[in-house]
Chains A and B, each alone.
Chain A
Amino acid sequence: MTPQSVTSAVEVSGLVKRYGATVAVDGLDLTLRTGSVLALLGPNGAGKTSTVEVCEGFRTADEGTVRVLGLDPRTQGEQLRPRIGVMPQGGGGYPGVRADELLTLIATCSANPLDPAWLLDVLGLTGAVRTPYKRLSGGQQQRLSLACALVGRPELVFLDEPTAGMDPQARRLVWELINALRRDGVSVLLTTHLIDEAEELADHVVIVDSGRVVAQGSPQELTADEPDDQQLRFRTRHGLDTSLLLAALPEGLRVREPSAGSYLVEGRITPQVVSTVTSWCAQQGVLAEELMVAKRSLEDVFLELTGRELRG
Chain B
Amino acid sequence: MTPQARFTPGTFTPAPGRGKLSRMFLAQSRMEILLTLRHGEQILLTVIIPVALLVALTLMTVIPMPDPRVGSATARVFALAILSSAFTGQAIALGFDRRYGILKRLASAQPRWLLVTGRVTAALAVVAIQIVILGGTALALGWRPPASGIAWAVLLIILGTLTFGALGVLLGGALRAEIVLALANIVWFVLLLIGGLALGVDSLPSGVAAVVQLLPSAALAEGLHAAVVNGTGPGIGPVLVLLAWGIGAAAVASKTTKLD
Q: Which residues of A contact B (CB under 8 A)?
A: 56, 58, 78, 81-86, 88, 90-97, 101-102, 104-106, 108-114, 122, 133-134, 145, 148-150, 152-155, 176-177, 180-181, 183-186
Q: Given A95-B97, A177-B7, are A106 and B13 neighbors across the interface (CB < 8 Å)?
A: no
- Apart from A88-B105, A94-B102, A95-B96, 14 more pairs, CB < 8 Å: A58-B104, A86-B108, A93-B101, A94-B31, A96-B35, A102-B105, A106-B105, A109-B24, A110-B17, A110-B109, A134-B100, A152-B109, A153-B13, A177-B7
Could you say which of B10, B24, B31, B34 contacts A184, with CB atoms under 8 Å apart? B10
In the assembled complex, the CB of A183 is this many whole angstroms from the nearest CB of chain B, namely 6
B23 at the interface (CB under 8 A from A): yes
Per-residue CB proximity of B82-109 to A under 8 Å, as 1/0?
0000000000000011011111110111
Complex Cα–Cα for A114 and B14 (A) = 10
Taking the complex as formed, is B215 at the interface, i.e. its CB lies under 8 A from any CB of chain A? no
For residue B10, which residues in chain A have a CB less than 8 angstroms away from its CB? Answer: 184
Instruction: Select one of B20, B100, B109 contacting A81, CB under 8 A.
Output: B109
- Verify A183–B100 contact, CB threshold 8 A: no
- 26 pairs, A vs B, C-beta closer than 8 Å: A58-B107, A81-B18, A81-B111, A82-B17, A85-B108, A88-B108, A90-B101, A92-B101, A94-B100, A95-B96, A95-B99, A97-B31, A105-B31, A110-B16, A110-B19, A111-B18, A111-B20, A145-B105, A152-B16, A153-B15, A154-B16, A176-B6, A180-B7, A180-B12, A184-B12, A186-B12
B38 within 8 A of A: yes
Smallest CB gap from A150: residue in B: B12
A149 to B3, CA, bound (A): 21
| B9 CB-CB contact with A under 8 Å | yes
Smallest CB gap from A35: residue in B: B14
In the bound assembly, the distance between CA atoms of A181 and B11 in angstroms comes to: 8
Inside 8 A of A78's CB, which chain B residues have their CB? 111
A145-B105, A186-B12 as given contacts; A58 in contact with B18, CB under 8 Å:
no
A58 to B107, CA, bound (A): 9
Verify A153–B16 contact, CB threshold 8 A. Answer: yes
Given A58-B104, A93-B100, A95-B100, CB of A176 within 8 Å of CB of B16:
no
Query: Among B18, B34, B103, B104, which residue has its beta carbon within 8 angstroms of that of A82?
Result: B18
B259 lies within 8 A of chain A by Cβ: yes
Does the CB pair A148–B12 fall under 8 Å? no
Tell me the bound Cα distance from A56 to B259 in angstroms: 14
Q: Is B39 an interface residue (CB 8 A)?
A: yes
Query: Known: A92-B100, A176-B3. Contact between A108 and B24, CB under 8 A?
Result: yes
Flag if A108 contacts B27 (CB, 8 Å): yes
Residue interface mask B34-78, A partner, CB < 8 A = 1: 110011000000000000000000000000000000000000000
Q: Which residues of B contact A110 (CB under 8 A)?
A: 16-19, 109
Binary interface profile of B, 233-250, with partner A (CB < 8 Å = 1, else 0)? 000000000000000000
Which of B17, B100, B107, B110 is the one whose CB lies under 8 Å from A111?
Answer: B17
Distance from B170 Cβ to chain A, minimum over Cβ atoms (Å): 20
- Please give, as numbers and ranges, the residues of chain A lying within 8 Å of B107 by CB-CB distance: 58
Supposing A88-B101, A105-B27, A109-B19 touch, asked if A180 and B11 sit within 8 A by C-beta, the answer is: yes
Q: Contact: A101 with B12, CB < 8 Å? A: no
Residues of B within 8 A of A (CB): 3, 6-7, 9-20, 23-24, 27-28, 31, 34-35, 38-39, 96-97, 99-105, 107-111, 259
Q: Give the interface SS of chain A, mostly helix, strand, loop or mixed.
A: mixed
- A83 cross-chain contacts in B, Cβ below 8 A: 14, 16
Q: Which residue from B18, B27, B39 sits with its C-beta under 8 Å from A96?
A: B39
In the complex the two chains form, is A186's CB within 8 Å of B104's CB? Answer: no
User: Which residues of the partner chain A approach B102 to less than 8 Å between Cβ atoms?
Assistant: 92-94, 97
Give the docked Cα–Cα distance between A95 and B102 (Å): 8
**Complex Cα–Cα for A46 and B107 (A):** 25
Most B-side CB within 10 Å, residue of A101, A109, A181: A109
A148 touches B35 (CB 8 A): no
Q: How far is the CB of B142 from chain A (nearest CB, A)?
A: 39
Q: Name the CB-closest residue of B to A86.
A: B108
Whole-angstrom CA separation of A78 from B107 in the bound complex: 11
6 nearest interchain CB pairs? A111-B17, A92-B101, A92-B105, A180-B7, A86-B108, A109-B109
Point out the residues of chain A lying under 8 angstroms from B14, CB to CB: 83, 153-155, 184-186
A109: B residues at CB distance < 8 A = 18-19, 24, 109-110
A83 to chain B: closest CB distance in Å? 4
CB distance from A9 to the nearest CB of B (A): 11
Chain B residue numbers with a CB within 8 Å of A114 are 11-12
Q: How far is the CA of A149 from the CA of B106 in the complex (A)?
A: 11
Q: How far is the CA of A181 from the CA of B13 in the complex (A)?
A: 8
Shortest B236–chain A CB gap in Å is 40
Q: Contact at A183–B9, with CB atoms within 8 Å?
A: yes
Q: Which residues of B contact A184 (CB under 8 A)?
A: 9-14
Output the nearest chain B residue to A97 by Cβ-Cβ distance.
B35
Contacts A108-B23, A154-B14: A148 and B100 contacting too (C-beta < 8 A)?
no
B12 close to A153 (CB less than 8 A): yes
**Residues of B with C-beta under 8 A to A94:** 31, 35, 97, 100, 102
